[in-house]
Amino acid sequence: MAATTEQRAEPLPPRGSTAWGRLKRNSLAVVGLAIVVVIVALALAAPILPLADPNITEPADRLMPPFSEGAWLGTDQLGRDMLSRLVWGARVSIAVGVAATLVAALIGSTIGLIAAYFGRITDNVLMRGVDMLMAFPYLLLALAIVAALGPGLINALLAIAVVNIPFFARSVRGATLGLVNREFIEAARLSGFSDTRIILSELLPNVLPVIVITMSTTVGWMILETAGLSFLGLGAQPPQADLGSMLGDGRGLVMTAPHVSVVPGVLILILVIGINLLGDGLRDVLDPRLKSGALSRPVARTEVAPGPPSGSGDKGALLEVTGLETEFRVGRRVLKAVNGVDFTLQPGESLGIVGESGSGKSVTAMSILGLVPTPPGIISKGAIRFQGTDLLRLPLRDLQDIRGNRISYIFQDPLTTLNPLLRVGDQVEETLIRHQGLSSRAAMAQAVELLNAVGLPDPRTKARAFPHELSGGQRQRVVIAMALANRPDLIIADEPTTALDVTTQARVLDLLNDLRRQTGAALIFITHDLGVVSELCERVLVMYAGRVVESGPVDAVFNQPRHPYTAALLACVPVLGEPDRSLAAIPGLPPAVDDLPRGCAFADRCPLVLPDCRAREILLARSGEGRRSRCIRWQEVGHG
Amino acid sequence: MAEPIVEARNLVRVFGGGRTWYGAKKPELRAVDDVSLSVQPGTTLGIVGESGCGKSTLARMLTGLIPPTSGTIRLEGRPIARLEGAEKRRFHQTVQLVFQDPLSSLNPRKTVSQILAGPLEALTDLDRTARRERVRALMDEVGLRPEFIDRYPHEFSGGQAQRIGIARALAVEPRLMVLDEPVSALDVSVQAQVLKLFRDLQERRRLTYLFISHDLAVVEALSSEVMVMLEGKVVEAGPRDRVFRAPRHDYTRTLLGAVPVPGRRRAA
């Protein structure tokens, strides 16, 4: 219920790569696909291929070796043509395997969907039934079912399907559970949909990928199981051939005529390998977790494009950012998240960076410590000088000595910042031990002191608590304690109170402000909330589409904005105590950061736009005492 | 005074509770604890409170998504409980809900036209052509361009997705709309667009809103009456200006004092 603005990641997911395109890039999956296509095509074409009748016995020609005249793969102990039996047998095996998969998928998915959707007692009864199926060794269970029903292909098919129901039921139930609490299911209920309709039209399309993945990874397995039952004489009955029964027929002749068992054995091997390669490839393409790039591991710091080291500028400044450009390279698209940002920060100063989602404010801050994930992020231009050293060209080791020590970072969500498995006290100690080389005893004492300083009640006990045992406000206090542990010169806080309630936010802001004044640290505070900036910061940068559009002292900028975007942003915030003022919404949307216009990025939404605004790049120019604006008509802003 | 469109008496909702198989007591949470309210047609009741105060549970009870543990809800004079058949249909035609997270409230596998036609199929007798017609009119009403009709939710920004959610709620022409944090997930400039849309719709259709939010400034901008909740209970209720200008309860005063205002520095 707390505000969740800004949780959207700023880089967009890759687009334009179809499922087929991604499958094509996986060469093993393509090999699997080729194998499956060839074998299935041969099996389907069996009736029209010029093959001998697979069941005609020819005692005179029994056990002919492969490559004999008239029998390419030889004949078996009854003189039947092996090639023909192989093709017809593959046809039967594939048909039974696929049919068993479909039956198992249908029944298993139905059980999974119903169990997850209705929950409670229905879930318990169905899933305990599935558990009972899983409690038996699967082959034993299949044997028992066939034994009860009598041998035969159809019975073998049913037995294998039943044995595989649990795999489908469990994975579909798992996927559905993640969906039933989503709001679109509640919306469907409010739209008057029946339970059946919700399951079929809302849930099923969303779990279909899971069903397809499970099918593609189990069908090979099921063909093997069919072959296993037939091998034991419980599946295909003579004279009909399937790959398993052919294997069984050849069992006694392994020494004298190995080809009778080797030929079907090799085909089973190739077929199952082909299906599994294809299945794995399909899973990689369809699984949303793999698609989102969760498996690509970012490196320890953002990649920096090579460039000339920059000359030093303002000697007294604590932090000086010049011409910073950070982009995300996703496929063929280049998203310019930060597009030429300059600012300086004096020691002890507090600077607010405001902007809407996608304006580049977080990426700017993360670039300072090289925290933008690579891939896909890369700092393509610019320099960041902290106390005179260029952070972008510093060796990783030295940068790590600055991170969490001279510059510390506070993230939006304290729950994801803190390690859930470690006690909060230990997490504060960790940063003291790393940077100050304290003994663990001294670090513990200091951690408790820090937790006390951030106003955590009973800090000695709270230090032994795990993050989930604290409230949201208390967790953020712990994060602040960690940020202050090494008396940093600069604290970067990225939406640190957005996930908190207003009353908690007010206390956390007071705390941050007091501690900052006591320690003399400078502060960069990133937020979408203009009110919070007013309370905490001396100077403000307003960002739009990756650029600073206006900067200056907070009070001056907010009381007399000199960029049309700042003015519009202020006009559309509802202000407590002024309920009747009309909310002037900004028409339209910000431009896409992979397709920025040449001129002013705000031109399309601006009431003051001139042809000149679109013709050339607008520079950030002086617009008063300590103020700069990226607008050629800044003098007219706010005068109608 | 006209008959209230919705009236709730002593609503209570308890989560958990009961005993385990071994007889041990399970923890119990009174999410909504003895709440009564009544809303006049054409007005907006704003409900404010911090996370965990029970405001969303209240929204779900008033829209029939979860039943109250005890207490009664009357909609246009008729008690709602155990809705079946025609009674249920009429209920959903009268009350609709707009959700907080625009993307999570839209089925990712359905197009805009399928999403908007859903409630029309299930709750009205319109035929296919009439439904298509109505979908176009709805999109126009909430400011979605007609060429969006066959697109999927992930192709929209948060503000546009929320417009789809609003259009879906409007589809069956409800008289009461429960808005559960409808602008909290949006950027301020988009938030202003959506708030404006709510104001326009109310004027045009004489809608009644139950507007739930943690953002006091937004509630103040839209409501005529306000209710402040804390830990499942109503601590203060009354006309908007009275509650915001002359709060009587300490908690209301704390809430109001905590809100940061642009261009104003807190006396510290």
Looking at the domain assignment, is residue A35 inside a domain? Answer: no
Residue A6: is its pLDDT beyond 50? no
Quick check: A328 and A376 in contact, CB under 8 A?
Answer: yes
Nearest CA among B247, B211, B249, B250 for reference residue B48: B211
Q: Is the pLDDT of residue A389 over 90?
A: no
Q: Which residue has the higher pLDDT, B26 or A194?
A: A194
Q: What CATH number is associated with residue A177?
A: 1.10.3720.10
In the predicted model, is pLDDT for residue A5 greater than 70?
no
Going by C-alpha positions, the residue among A27, A8, A39, A619 that lies closest to residue A284 is: A27
Query: Residue B134 and residue B149: Cα distance in Å, rounded?
Result: 12
From CA A484, how far away is CA A77, in angstroms rounded?
84
Q: What is the pLDDT of residue A11?
A: 36
How far does A345 lie from chain B, in Å, by closest CA? 21
Domain residue ranges in chain B: 6-258
Residue A310 has pLDDT above 70, yes or no: no
Query: Which CA distances in Å does B227 have to A481, B49, B249?
Result: 37, 9, 12
Contacts with B97 from chain A: Cβ below 8 Å: 186-187, 190
**Do residue B118 and residue A193 have CB atoms under 8 angstroms apart?**
yes
Span A80-93, average pLDDT: 89
The token pair at A327 is 């982009």
CA dist A238 and A241 (Å) reads: 7
The shortest CB-CB distance from B189 to any of A1, A193, A586 is to A586
| Residue among A572, A528, A478, A584 at smallest CA distance from A4 | A528
Domain assignment of residue A566, yes or no: yes
Q: Which long-range contacts (CB under 8 A, 24 or more apart) does A78-85 make?
A: A80/A52, A80/A54, A80/A55, A80/A56, A81/A51, A81/A52, A81/A53, A81/A54, A81/A56, A82/A259, A82/A260, A82/A263, A83/A51, A83/A52, A84/A51, A84/A52, A84/A53, A84/A54, A85/A54, A85/A241, A85/A246
Query: How far is residue A576 from each of residues A531, B228, B241, B264, measured CA to CA in Å?
Result: 10, 15, 11, 11
Last residue of a domain, one of A290, A310, A333: A290
Q: Assess if residue A249 is contained within a domain.
A: yes
| Nearest chain A alpha carbon to B188 | A573
Q: In A, residues 504-563, which contact B (CB 8 Å cutoff)?
A: 504-506, 509-510, 513, 528-535, 555, 558-559
Q: Is the pLDDT confidence value at A17 over 70?
A: no
pLDDT tens, A280-309? 888 877 766 555 555 566 677 888 887 766
Q: Which residue of A has its CA nearest to B114?
A: A201
8 Å CB contact of A187 and B165: yes
Going from the first residue of chain B to its last (268 residues), give the mean pLDDT of each consecutive group of 10, the final group possibly shorter: 86 84 80 92 92 88 91 88 80 92 88 93 90 92 87 86 92 93 85 89 92 90 93 92 92 88 62
Q: For residue A1, what are its two tokens?
A: 């219920």
Q: Which residues of A touch B122 (CB under 8 A)?
A: 191-194, 197
DSSP at A623: -
Contacts of residue A157, defined as CB under 8 A and 6 or more positions apart, other chains included, come to: A96, A99, A100, A103, A226
Q: B219: number of CA atoms within 13 Å, CB side?
A: 26
**pLDDT tens across A353-387, in order?**
998 888 888 899 989 988 888 778 888 888 888 88
Residue A501 domain-assigned (yes or no):
no
| Residue A637 within any structural domain of the chain | yes
Q: Which residue type occupies A583?
A: L
Q: What angle separates helix B188-205 from helix B158-170, to the nearest 10 degrees?
A: 20
Q: What is the pLDDT of residues A233-286, one digit of tens each?
A: 888 888 888 888 888 888 888 888 888 888 899 999 999 999 999 988 888 777
Task: Note which residues in 327-356 of chain A have CB less than 8 A from chain B.
Answer: 356
Closest chain B residue to the Cα of A186, Cα to Cα: B65
Q: What is the largest CA-CA distance in chain A?
A: 109
What's the confidence (pLDDT) of residue A34? 94
Residue A1 reports pLDDT greater than 60: no
The CB density around residue A211, as the number of other CB atoms within 10 Å, is 20
The answer to whether A354 and A540 are in contact (CB under 8 A) is yes
Q: Is residue A374 part of a domain?
A: no
So what's the pLDDT on residue A281? 86
pLDDT single digits (tens) A326-358:
988 877 778 888 988 999 999 989 999 998 888
- Return the closest-CA partner of residue A281 out of A591, A106, A27, A76: A27
Contact call for B108 and A206, based on CB within 8 A: yes
Q: What average pLDDT score do residues A542-566 get?
A: 92
Closest alpha carbon to A185 in B81, B101, B73: B101
Q: What share of chain B is helix, strand, coil (3-state, %, to 5)?
A: 40, 25, 35
Mean pLDDT over residues A423-449, rounded?
A: 89
Strands B233-239 and A319-330: unpaired
Residue A614 has pLDDT above 70, yes or no: yes
Q: What's the one-letter identity of residue A275? A: I
Average pLDDT score, chain A:
85
The radius of gyration of chain A from alpha carbons, rounded to an integer in Å, stands at 34
Using the structure block, give the residue that is written with the tokens 């509770």: B17
Q: Identify the pLDDT of residue A512.
A: 86
Provide the 3-class DSSP secondary structure of residue B211.
Answer: strand
Q: B265 CB contacts (<8 Å, ≥6 apart)?
A: A534, A535, A555
Return the HEC string of A113-165: HHHHHHCHHHHHHHHHHHHHHHCCCHHHHHHHHHHHHCCCHHHHHHHHHHHHH
* Count of all residues that appear for chain A in the document: 640
CB B59 within 8 A of CB B178: yes
A202-206, A453-457, B239-243, B248-252: range with lowest mean pLDDT: A453-457
pLDDT at A605: 87
The DSSP secondary structure of A522-535, one letter per residue, reads EEEEEES-HHHHHH
DSSP A330-392: ETTEEEEEEEEEEEEE-TT-EEEEE--TTSSHHHHHHHHTT-S-TTTEEEEEEEEEETTEEGG
pLDDT in tens, B25-62: 778 888 899 999 999 999 999 999 888 888 889 999 99
Q: Does A41 touch chain B (CB under 8 A)?
A: no
Pick from A186, A189, A529: which is nearest to B260 by CB? A529
Note whether A497 and A532 are within 8 A (CB).
yes
Residue-level pLDDT at A161: 93
Give the C-alpha separation, A225 to A242, whole Å.
Answer: 12
Q: Which fold has domain B6-258?
A: Rossmann fold (3.40.50)
Measured between beta carbons, which residues in chain B are less than 8 angstroms from residue A288?
none
Q: What is the mean pLDDT of residues A18-25?
A: 74
Exposed (0-12), middle (13-18) or buried (19+): which is B263, by Cβ within 10 Å?
middle
- What number is the average pLDDT over the span A158-167? 92
Cα dihedral angle (A525, A526, A528, A530), rounded to 10 degrees? Answer: 20
Our CA-based measurement puts residue B46 at a distance from the nearest CA of chain A, in whole angstroms, of: 13
Residue A513 with chain B: CB contacts under 8 Å:
268
Give the range of the structural domain holding residue A625, as residue numbers without chain letter.
544-640
What are the tens digits of pLDDT across the range A468-525?
888 888 888 899 888 888 889 999 999 888 777 888 888 888 888 888 888 889 999 9
The structural domain count of chain A equals 2
Q: What is the distance between the alpha carbons of residues A506 and A474, in angstroms, rounded to a whole number?
A: 13
Answer with the residue of higher pLDDT: A638 or A459: A459
For residue B193, which residues of chain A lie inside 8 Å, CB to CB? 585-587
Tell me the two tokens of residue A191. 């739209």
Complex-level ipTM: 0.89
Tell whether the model's pLDDT for residue A639 goes beyond 80. no
> Chain B contacts of A572, Cβ < 8 Å?
188-189, 191-192
